[in-house]
Amino acid sequence: MTDQPGYSLGELSRLTGAKLVGDANLRVQRVATLADAAPGSISFLANRRYRRYLSSTRATAVILAPVDLDDCPTAALVTDNPYLVFAKVAQLLAPPEQPQAGIHETAVVHPEARLGEGVSIGPYVVIEAHAQLEDRVAVGAGSYIGSHARIGADSRIAPLVSIGARVVIGARAIIHSGAVIGADGFGFANDRGRWVKVPQLGSVRLGDDVEVGANTCIDRGALGDTIIEDGVKIDNLVQVGHNVRIGAGTAVAGLTAFAGSSTIGRHCMIGGSSAIAGHLTIADNVTITGMTGVSRSIREPGVYSASPLMQPYQEWRKNTVRSGQLDAMYRRLRDLEAELAEMKARLEGQR
């Protein structure tokens, strides 16, 4: 390493494992798109739709796949997974700002809370009794940490996050603003038209390296805990109901909703605006495309879809009307098939 800003291409090749084609001494200080890059930038090509910008890019270097190397006018970091290498390079060139350790004078920290070394507590944070923050946890302004909650080392809690009592969050978590972890699950019993609240006595447990998006809600369990396993990534505006379990390495896109007691396998990908009904099981390595409603368990790995495709409006209107006639059409078809079978039988009998 040198005292010059940024990284040399040789350093980036060594740190990411990508093959360098070009001058190892060239240095880059920032990441940029192919179209917007300037000298000193490094860009990437992972989507074929942007290949048209490759030949004219002004980037110092481009991260790309071997198939695109011949058309690259600059130095290159060559890899079979350009997006992954780009992510690693971006982390090196734009590391997250490290908050200053200490407790802001306006924060309210209960004397029985336990804080590790290097903890950063922002303005107007409230930390209740017996909460435990391990080393280098950072809590942004206006956030709330409930009693007996525990947050693992190197986790970052953004401003205006609410973490309920007894919630457990693992190491290196990232919780974005507006997230609510540990609110009551939606549990009510019906007493002749009057809803009676069922106490939500469980909690929420997040594993290590979990990221929770802005304004996402993860409800506490009714009896047992809601569990988010290691490495799960949850987008913004996701609803996770009580006693849901999401397996390690699963990624969930925005506006998805999980009804209570659904179990999601490991390494799944759930597309945006999907809805998972309660008490279902989804196997490991399942991909659910966007806007899919899952109404029964999925037992085998694979890709599953249930959303209608976009159509011209007039065509959509006609198809919507006809979909309401499907039962009547089925009954007419069944009757016609019965009549046809009867006619065939009579013809056979006349031969």
| One domain, residues 185 and 42 | no
| One domain, residues 197 and 327 | no
| One domain, residues 121 and 177 | yes
| One domain, residues 120 and 83 | no
Q: How many structural domains are present in the chain? A: 3
How far apart CA 13 and CA 8 sit, in angstroms, is 9
pLDDT-derived band at 98, boundaries 50, 70, 90: confident
Q: Tally the residues of the chain.
A: 351
> Which pLDDT score, from 0 to 100, does residue 1 have?
46
Q: Identify the residue whose tokens are 């107007």.
A: 124
The residues near 171 (Cβ < 8 Å, ≥ 6 apart) are: 134, 152, 153, 154, 155, 208, 209
Catalytically active residues are 242
Q: Domain for residue 344, yes or no?
A: yes
Residue 2 has pLDDT above 80, yes or no: no
pLDDT-derived band at 3, boundaries 50, 70, 90: low
Q: Mean pLDDT over residues 5-34, rounded?
A: 97
> Which pLDDT score, from 0 to 100, does residue 346 have?
87
Phi, then psi, of 304 in degrees rounded to 5: -130, 140
Point out the domain boundary residue: 93, 122, 146. 93
Say if residues 165 and 149 touch (Cβ distance below 8 Å): yes
Q: Mean pLDDT over residues 196-212, rounded?
A: 98
> Which pLDDT score, from 0 to 100, does residue 164 have?
98
pLDDT-derived band at 84, boundaries 50, 70, 90: very high
Residue 198 has pLDDT above 60, yes or no: yes
| One domain, residues 39 and 88 | yes
Point out the domain boundary residue: 53, 68, 93. 93
| Model confidence pTM above 0.85 | yes
Q: Domain for residue 227, yes or no?
A: yes
Q: Domain for residue 2, yes or no?
A: no
Say if residues 240 and 258 touch (Cβ distance below 8 Å): yes
Element (H, E) at 9: helix 9-16
> Which pLDDT score, from 0 to 100, does residue 26 have?
98
Q: Mean pLDDT over residues 115-136, rounded?
A: 98
> Which pLDDT score, from 0 to 100, does residue 348 have?
84
- What is the domain extent for residue 228? 102-304
Residue 226, classified by CB atoms within 10 Å of its CB into exposed (0-12), middle (13-18) or buried (19+), is: buried
Instruction: Kindly report the average pLDDT of the chain as a whole number.
Output: 96
Residue 334 has pLDDT above 80, yes or no: yes
pLDDT digits (tens, 9 = 90+) for 215-272: 999 999 999 999 999 999 999 999 999 999 999 999 999 999 999 999 999 999 999 9
CA distances from residue 70 to 12, 50, 74, 229 in whole angstroms, order as listed: 21, 16, 10, 42
| One domain, residues 254 and 326 | no
| One domain, residues 161 and 282 | yes
Residue type, 342: E
Q: Mean pLDDT over residues 142-167, rounded?
A: 98
How far apart CA 88 and CA 79 sit, in angstroms, is 12
CATH number for position 266:
2.160.10.10
Residue 254 tokens read as 């925005």
| One domain, residues 72 and 210 | no
Q: Domain for residue 88, yes or no?
A: yes
| One domain, residues 12 and 83 | yes
Q: Domain for residue 44, yes or no?
A: yes
Phi, then psi, of 13 in degrees rounded to 5: -60, -45
Q: Mean pLDDT over residues 326-338, rounded?
A: 95
Residue 316 has pLDDT above 90, yes or no: no
Q: Domain for residue 86, yes or no?
A: yes
Q: Domain for residue 1, yes or no?
A: no
Q: Domain for residue 159, yes or no?
A: yes
CATH number for position 20:
3.40.1390.10
| One domain, residues 64 and 164 | no
Residue 158 has pLDDT above 70, yes or no: yes
Q: Mean pLDDT over residues 75-95, rounded?
A: 97
| One domain, residues 298 and 325 | no
The DSSP bridge pattern shows strands 194-197 and 188-191 to be antiparallel
> Which pLDDT score, from 0 to 100, does residue 347 have?
86
Residue 211 has pLDDT above 50, yes or no: yes
Point out the domain boundary residue: 49, 65, 93. 93
